[in-house]
Amino acid sequence: MDPVLAKPTSACCLTDGSSYQSNDPESKLQQLGGIETYVSQPVAPNANGNILLFFPDAFGLCAKNYLLMDRFAALGYLVLGVDYFMGDSVLKHTANPLNDPTFDLKAWSLKHLRASEEIAEKWITEVSSKYGSVEGVKFACVGYCWGGRFVCQQLSKNGICSVGAMAHPSFMNESHVSGVNAPLYIAAPSTDSLFMPEQRARALEILSNNEQKFNMQIISGVSHGFATRSHPDDPYAESASKAAFKSFTEWFDFWLSKQD
C-alpha cells in the first residue's frame, strides 16, 4: 500500500494564465538521446556552473515554461527542460482544455503516467552522460504539478541532484517523499484539492522522521498552478508566483554553495 499525498492531475491543473513569450524558444530546442529538450544557457557574468533540471506541468514545453526556464538561466543556471510527453502535451489536443468537451484529461493522464517516467529515466541517463563528468558541476531540479514526483526521484539515492524544489505537485505518493535524501523545498497554495492540508502534513512528517532538510511555503489566496500560470492582471497572484520563484532560487543557491 502506497498512500497518495498529491492526487492525479485534474481540471485545476489546466487553468490558463498569462501569455508570456520566451525569446526565440525554437532556437533552444535540442535533441538529447532522441528526447526534445529545452536548453537555456546561463547569462554571463552570472553563470554559476550548475545545472537545473526542469520537470514541467501538463502543458509541457510551452511558452510559459520557456519563460520560467529562461528566468532561472538569467540567474546563472544552465537549464534543461525535458519533453517527457514526446510532443503530446495537453496543448497538442486543445487550446482550451478546461472547456473542450472533446478532451479527456483522465485518458491523457493514464497514457502518459508511466510513459513519462520511462522517458525521464532515459533522459536523466543522457543528461548525466553528457554533463555529469564536467568538473565541479552540480545538479538541482525543479518540478511543477506533474513534475513534482520527478523531483523526489532525483533527490533519492538513485538520483543525480543535490537539491530540489516543487510547486503544487500531483501524482505523488508517500513512497516518493520517503525516498527523498537531499534538501527539498515545497510551495503550495493553502487550498489545493490535489494536495490537501492532511497530505501536506504527512509529507512534512515523513521528511521530519527521515531527518531531511526541507521547507514548505504555503500561500493563501492562490490556486493550484499559481507558480507557473499566474496572470499579469492579478497582482497578488503574480507576487505569489514571484515569491515561489525567489524562494526556489535562494534554496538552490544556499545548498549548492554548501558543497563547494
Summarised one tens digit per residue, pLDDT across range 37-93 is 999 999 888 899 999 999 999 999 998 899 999 999 999 999 999 999 999 999 888
Distance CA 152, CA 93 (A): 29
Summarised one tens digit per residue, pLDDT across range 191-236 is 998 999 999 999 999 999 999 999 999 999 998 889 997 777 889 9
C-alpha distance from residue 223 to each of 160, 194, 236 (Å): 31, 11, 12
Predicted confidence (pLDDT) at residue 102 exceeds the cutoff of 90:
no
Distant-in-sequence, close-in-space partners of 18: CB < 8 Å, separation ≥ 6: 64, 229, 230, 231, 232
Predicted confidence (pLDDT) at residue 19 exceeds the cutoff of 80:
no
Predicted confidence (pLDDT) at residue 3 exceeds the cutoff of 90:
no
pLDDT of residue 95: 75
Distance CA 153, CA 177 (A): 9
CA 39-67-235 angle, 5° bins: 160
109 grid coordinates: 493522464
Q: Which residues are catalytic?
A: 145, 192, 224
Segments forming the whole domain that contains residue 121: 4-257
Distance CA 46, CA 194 (A): 36
Predicted confidence (pLDDT) at residue 17 exceeds the cutoff of 70:
no
Predicted confidence (pLDDT) at residue 18 exceeds the cutoff of 70:
no
pLDDT of residue 20: 40
The answer to whether 124 touches 160, Cβ cutoff 8 Å, is: yes
pLDDT of residue 152: 98
Total domains present in the chain:
1
CATH, residue 53: 3.40.50.1820
Q: What is the mean pLDDT of the chain?
A: 90
108-123 as b/e, with b when 16 or more CB fall inside 10 Å?
Answer: bbeebeeebeebbebb
What is the arithmetic mean of pLDDT over 5-30? Answer: 60
Q: Which of 5-19, 25-39, 174-188, 217-231 reaches the highest mean pLDDT?
A: 174-188
